[in-house]
Amino acid sequence: MIPPDTTSKEPSQMSTAREQSEQAEATPDRSGSVESRPGRGIKVRGLNAYYGKQHAIKGVDIDFPANQVTAIIGPSGSGKSTVVRCINRMHEEIPGARADGSVTLDESDVYAPDVDVTAVRRVIGMVFQKPNPFPTMSIYDNVAAGLRLTGTKPHNLRETVNTTLRAVGLWDEVKDRLNEPGVGLSGGQQQRLCIARTVAVSPEVILMDEPCSALDPIATLKVEELIDELKARYTIVIVTHNMQQAARVADSTVFMLDGEVIEHAPTNDLFTKPKDERTERYVTGKFG
Partner 1 sequence: MSVFSEAAVSPRRRRTDRLMRVALVAATILALIPLVLVIYYLLKEGLGSINKAFFTQDPSGSFFGAVGGVRSAILGSLEIVLLATLISVPIGIGVALFLTEYGKDSKFANVVRYFVDVMTGVPSIVFGLFIYISLVLTHVGGNFTAWKASVALALLMLPIVIRSSEVVLLLVPASLREGALALGAPRWQVIFRVVLPSARTGLVTGSLLAVARGMGETAPLLFTTAGAAGLTFSLSGQMNALPLQIYNDILSPRAAVVAQAWAAGLTLVAIVLILNLVARAVSRRSRMA
Return the closest-CA partner of residue 102 out of 40, 39, 38, 49. Answer: 49
Report how far residue 214's alpha carbon sits from residue 241's, in angstroms, rounded to the nearest whole number: 12
**Beta 205-209 vs 235-239: how paired, if at all?**
parallel
The answer to whether 13 touches 204, Cβ cutoff 8 Å, is yes
| Shortest distance in whole angstroms from residue 130 CB to partner 1 | 6
Q: Are 193 and 139 in contact (CB under 8 A)?
A: yes
Of 37 and 130, CB closest to partner 1: 130
CB of 132 to partner 1, least distance (A): 4
Q: Which is nearer to partner 1, 163 or 267 (CB)?
A: 163
Q: For residues 192, 198, 199 and 201, what is the CA-based torsion angle, rounded to 10 degrees?
A: 150
Contact 130/215 with Cβ under 8 angstroms?
A: no
Closest approach of Cβ 37 to partner 1, in Å? Answer: 20
From residue 125, alpha-carbon distances to 55, 141, 198, 204, 241 in Å are: 25, 18, 6, 8, 20
Question: Which CB, 208 or 226, lies closer to partner 1?
Answer: 208
Residues at the contact surface with partner 1, assessed by CB under 8 A? 88, 90, 93, 95, 118-123, 125-126, 128, 130, 132-136, 145-146, 148-151, 194, 197-198, 201
- Which residue, 30 or 148, is less far from partner 1 as judged by CB? 148
Beta carbon of residue 127, minimum distance to partner 1 (angstroms, whole number): 8
Indicate the residue among 42 and 265 with the shorter CB distance to partner 1: 42
As measured in angstroms, the least distance from the Cβ of 12 to partner 1 is 15
